[in-house]
Every structure is written in structure tokens, then in C-alpha cells.
Amino acid sequence: MDLAQAKSLRTGLDRFLRTFDDCIATCRGRRHLRTYVSGQMSGLGRKSVEPIALQAGVPPRTLQEFLTFHSWDEGAVRDRVQERVSRLHGDPEAIGVIDETSLPKKGDKTPGVQRQHCGATGKTDNCVVTVHLGYVAGDFHALLDGDLYLPESWHRDRDRCREAGIPDDVVYRPKWRIALDELEAAAQRGVFFKWLCADEGYGRCHDFRLGVADLGIAYVVEVPTTHTGWKARQAWGGSRPVERFAKGGRGWELWRVKDTEKGPEVFKVRALRFRPAEEGIVGDEQWLLVTRHVLTGEVKYFLSNAPEDAPLGVLLHVAFSRWHIERIFREAKNEAGLDHYEGRRYVGLRRHLVITALSVLFLAEQKQRLAEDDEKRGGTSHSSRSSASSRPNSIPASLLASAVAT
């Protein structure tokens, strides 16, 4: 990045944050927001309140009070983030992406903390879990929302909740319910999603899939190997787990699903019409996609309520778009300190999640702008390189035959 680009970033940040001024009533609060966002995007190793405040030359206590006690509307900031994404980055093929992330913690005072599965450490660990809604339009991606997963142990201990500032109407909700609430709220605010993808933790849930479908959104969600159902024209007798459809049979195709730094990701794919077993009854007919990685042998299964004439390449593109939310989380943690919150109050955590989404949006827009500037100057932007391979590509029949035979 040259000096001119660095200056444009500073100017751009000030212009960007001014669009949120009416969400914070006081000049002091707006200054604190600028301090916090600037600190999140700085080179600090730890982007919690104290190092951000000290770098900016303000008392840490005042920045902590901005997060936890000052009167400002974090919900309005979140709504403005979503409105901006919809207005500037809206896309008729937009994909919503649902996932959760974990924030490892020490002690027992952070809202929602307990020993539970922690994706960050890969084991049961002391952590906080938050559920998020991401937005994907072409090569652009951003965070739209995030909320705390409140474990049942916290839900049952309302005194502990009150000590952490958790209101009585904030109760235990399964993660799929949090995700669906976020999706419904974003849609009501005017964010358009044509598609939604999620991993098997959400895809296995009948009520989640029904809720997505009721919003008029086509889903392509992963389901576990034990998920059962019938071929569409054979919906009688006992249902079979989807893993049975990965063995033998006809109809396999070879697809290059995406390109990575290590080379193309190629899968053998089998698509069939399928009726899932939904709480003991035969569900509506939909797509079952069986995908097998040609190098590792890893098999994934996806259900989709997309129309019967939906192109397989498009379904695969949506199914494998989950990498966007994984990239968003990595950027949010590495570049904006998503997992660096150290407060003990619920409102502080909520505001931290909202401000992080704001920071991630600014970074995404600036990366897009700089890539476009590079392209105009005659270079090849990352965006233009990746867009050519963002959708699956068919593989020649000769290679298909040799791969299916293995």
C-alpha cells in the first residue's frame, strides 16, 4: 500500500463512520466509536479496551464505560450496517451464511461462558459461543449480525444473569433458533437473500429448514451421514441414511468446486431427488447432493429446497460458500479483535459484536476498492482472479471416467 492509499483509508474511515453518527447522540460517544474502530484496525497485538485506549491516549475506563454504560443504540448501528450492505452490495444471487464461533475465556464472569465445545481450540474448553449471519455477494462478504448463545446453565441461574447484566427476556435458545431469528430480522429490514448455506449443525434441524423456506429463501445445507429419507419415487418402506447413497450407483459427475491456494478442489458429485424423513413422516421432495473429495475421500451431504430445474453448478456453488464465513471469522479475529473482548457485561459484549461487524464491513469495502483501483491501473486484482473460479466448473468426461473408477 502506498502513501496515497493510506491517506485514502483514513479519509474513507472518517467518511464511513459519519454515516453512523445519528446512532450515537453525543459527540463524546462518536469519538469513542472512532477510537474503538481505529484500535480494532490497528496493528495492536491485543485489541481489547485497555490497549486500544492507551494507544489513543484516553483513559481505559472511559472507553469501557462507552461499551457498557453510555446511552447509545447499538441496535441502530447494526441496522445501519445491514442497510448499507443491502444498498451498496445488494445482489439478486446473494447468499446468507450461518455459523457460530467461539471466544476462549478464562474465569467465569464473561456472559455465557462455560465449558463447551470450542472450535477455536478444537476441544471442550472454557469459552463463549456467538452465532452469526454473514452475507456473500460475488467476492464480497460481510457480517450482518451476531448474538450470544446463552447456555441452559446460565438460563436457569437468573441471579448470575442479572449480575452480568443479562435481561430477563434473554433466555436459552438453541443455536438454530438464534440463527433463524437473525435471518428473519435481516429480511424484515430489507436485506435480500436468494440462498442460504449452513453446516450440519443447522441443516439437520427440520424446523430451521422450514423457517428458511418460509422466508422464501432457497437453502443448500449440509446434513449428517445419519440423516434419513427416501429416493423421491421410492418413498415407501424404511427410510435409509444418506450415506447409503454414496455407494455405487449411477449419475456421478466430476466438478471443480473452487480454487484454493493449494490448487483446485475437485469433487465427485451425485445429485438426486429425495424426500427426507421429517419427524417420522415423509418430507417434501428436494435435492440431495452427495459430494466426495477426489483426493481425500471426504464425503459431504447437502439438502436443498431449490427448484427441480436448478443448475447443479449453482447448487454446488452455494453449498461450498461456507468458506466465506470461515474467512470472515478469521478476518474479524485477526484484523478486528472479535475474540479480544474482556468485559463482564452483556451489553458490552453485544456492542463489541456490533462494532466488530462495522469494522469488518469497512475493511471489506476498502479491500474491494483497492482491488478495483489496482485493476484500473492495469494490474490483476484478487477479485477478478477469484471471480472466474468462484462457481463450479465441469470436468472433461475422460477425467470423470477415471475418477469415478477409483
Segment holding 16, helix H or strand E = helix 3-18
**Residue ranges matching CATH 3.90.350.10 in the chain:** 73-405
Per DSSP bridges, beta strands 228-231 and 263-278 are antiparallel
CATH class entry, domain 73-405 = alpha beta
239 burial (CB, 10 Å; 0-12 / 13-18 / 19+) is middle
What mean pLDDT value characterizes the chain? 89
pLDDT at position 4 over 60: no
Q: What is the pLDDT of residue 165?
A: 97
pLDDT at position 401 over 80: no
- Position 190 confidence tier, pLDDT thresholds 50, 70, 90: very high
Q: For the segment 12-29, what is each residue's pLDDT rounded down to a tens digit?
A: 899 999 999 999 999 999
Q: Are 137 and 91 in contact (CB under 8 A)?
A: yes
Between 345 and 260, whose confidence is greater? 345
Q: What is the pLDDT of residue 237?
A: 72
Per DSSP bridges, beta strands 114-118 and 263-278 are unpaired
Between 232 and 62, whose confidence is greater? 62
Q: What is the pLDDT of residue 395?
A: 41
Mean pLDDT, residues 47-66: 96
pTM over 0.75: yes
Alpha-carbon distance of 133 to 179, in angstroms, equals 7
Q: For the segment 324-338, what is each residue's pLDDT rounded down to a tens digit?
A: 999 999 999 999 999
User: Whose CA is closest to 49, among 300, 337, 248, 296?
Assistant: 337
Q: What is the pLDDT of residue 199?
A: 97
Percent of the chain exceeding pLDDT 90 equals 77
CA distance readout (Å), 47 to 42, 53, 129, 345, 391? 8, 10, 19, 17, 36
- Position 251 confidence tier, pLDDT thresholds 50, 70, 90: confident
Between 382 and 392, whose confidence is greater? 392
Mean pLDDT, residues 307-316: 97
